[in-house]
Chains A and B, each alone.
Chain A
């Protein structure tokens, strides 16, 4: 969760946007990066920087301190993710074949040993889930966004978000059982 003292500090220095921006980056750069990775965005590092650059001009009108910055950050990140998928739909995949980029190969033992620790296996599981499930899991589990903010970001009611979360967890459980059984 959010560091309450850091939130107090930023609330006391709201007139300095640089302080709030620094605290927001230190607290939420990881969750934003993880959210973008979980959603399969290409080059999540660059998109993370873009999200924070888009946050800075809105800090003057921002209310709610770090918590407000967090909600706004993930709203921006969600919009960037939607833009990414729309762009990908419009753009035909015309890249030449490269062995290193071929995802159909089976991972080596080393990749399984180290990549799984880094969370790569989880993203593979999430790739098979429906889009709504992936979104609610990325927001609720990876980004640690509250139900209210998740509902606001996804444009749904809180009840439907809770229902979606329950179904997504059930689907993830099935996939996990399947993967553990096969591997």
Chain B
């Protein structure tokens, strides 16, 4: 029996003897036997699991180095040739798995965090863009184009020194064009910037009646607009009959502007846009 324990067993016996001597029980053979049996519980080492094996030395060179460092100890004395642990290492050596699993895990976690931040930013930007588009386009896509064109036109007119008017920058982009632009102005700006077709005439039509009473001082500006509304594309819109700047029986050319007095009707806002109108004819 004692030959089987040779290296490790002798070491265990020495440790048990030392323990018994410390406790004053050095001569107790029965207890010594029990303690040696208890000690034998540590003799079996379980094989490393896959996760543990992945963290152990994997390269053959490192295994050889470890084996070389353990060999001189076997030559020196019995304390080094503990068979079971070395056998465990031999089973571990051929596994080709890298030992950097925690590092990769950390990097993957950081990458995941960064990806989540970028995705959140993209979602926020897209939601803001969508909300802006929804606010700007109450009338659908053509309305959005018209609003865009009107906004660009207002910016351009603001940059031009001649057309600097106060209310334009104050009002929001969606409302200013409709308020300030009388019937003749919208076909002027809309086609110039965005669409050349009578599509912008649709929002113009409700606005058109407003300037009718007001531009009494400038009948010559209204006359060119009447033909434009009578184009075949605008036949659907019933606004032209409402529009008559001057009654049909009155010839605008015969009106003497000096005889015309103030009508007494309060003139709404569109009088501010008059500077842009003379340039048209």
- Where the two chains meet, the residues of A that have a C-beta atom closer than 8 Å to any C-beta of B are 1, 3-6, 9, 16, 18-19, 21-23, 25-27, 29-31, 33-35, 37-38, 45, 48-49, 52-53, 56-57, 116-119, 121-123, 125-126, 137, 140-144, 162, 165-166, 169-170, 172-173, 176-177, 180
Contacts and interface: CB of A to CB of B under 8 A. Distances in A.
Q: Choose among A38, A48, A49 the residue with the greatest number of B CB atoms under 10 Å from its CB.
A: A49
Contact of B15 (A4, A119, A144, A162): A144
Contacts of B19: 140-141, 165, 169
A179 to B, nearest CB: 9
Contacts, number: 154
Contacts of B230: none
Interface in B75-91: 76, 79-80, 82, 84-86, 88-89
Contact of A9 (B24, B66, B84, B92): B66
Contacts of B30: 173, 176-177, 180
Contacts of B70: 3, 5-6
A57 to B, nearest CB: 7
Interface stretch (B33-41, B128-136, B139-147, B258-266): B33-41
Interface of B: 11, 15-16, 19-20, 22-25, 28, 30-31, 33-35, 37-46, 48-49, 51-52, 55-58, 62, 66, 69-70, 72-73, 76, 79-80, 82, 84-86, 88-89, 92, 99, 102
B31 A34 contact: no
A77 to B, nearest CB: 12
23 contacts: A3-B79, A3-B82, A5-B70, A5-B80, A16-B62, A21-B56, A23-B66, A30-B42, A33-B46, A34-B44, A38-B41, A52-B48, A53-B55, A57-B102, A118-B44, A119-B37, A122-B38, A122-B41, A141-B35, A144-B39, A169-B31, A173-B25, A173-B30
Task: Give chain A's interface secondary structure class.
Answer: helix
Nearest to A116: B37
Task: Give chain B's interface secondary structure class.
Answer: helix
A52 B153 CA distance: 73
A142 B39 contact: yes
Q: Choose among B25, B41, B51, B72 the residue with the greatest number of A CB atoms under 10 Å from its CB.
A: B41
Contacts of B44: 30, 33-34, 118
Contacts of A29: 45-46, 48, 85, 88
B69 A9 contact: yes
Nearest to B58: A18
Contact of A34 (B20, B42, B72): B42
Nearest to B102: A57
A25 B88 contact: yes
Contacts of A173: 25, 28, 30-31, 34
Contacts of A118: 40, 44
A166 B25 CA distance: 9
Contacts of A22: 56-57, 66, 89, 92
A3 B80 contact: yes
Q: Choose among A25, A31, A166 the residue with the greatest number of B CB atoms under 10 Å from its CB.
A: A25
B73 to A, nearest CB: 4
A49 B33 CA distance: 30
Contact of A56 (B20, B34, B35, B102): B102
A138 to B, nearest CB: 8
Contacts of A122: 34, 37-38, 41
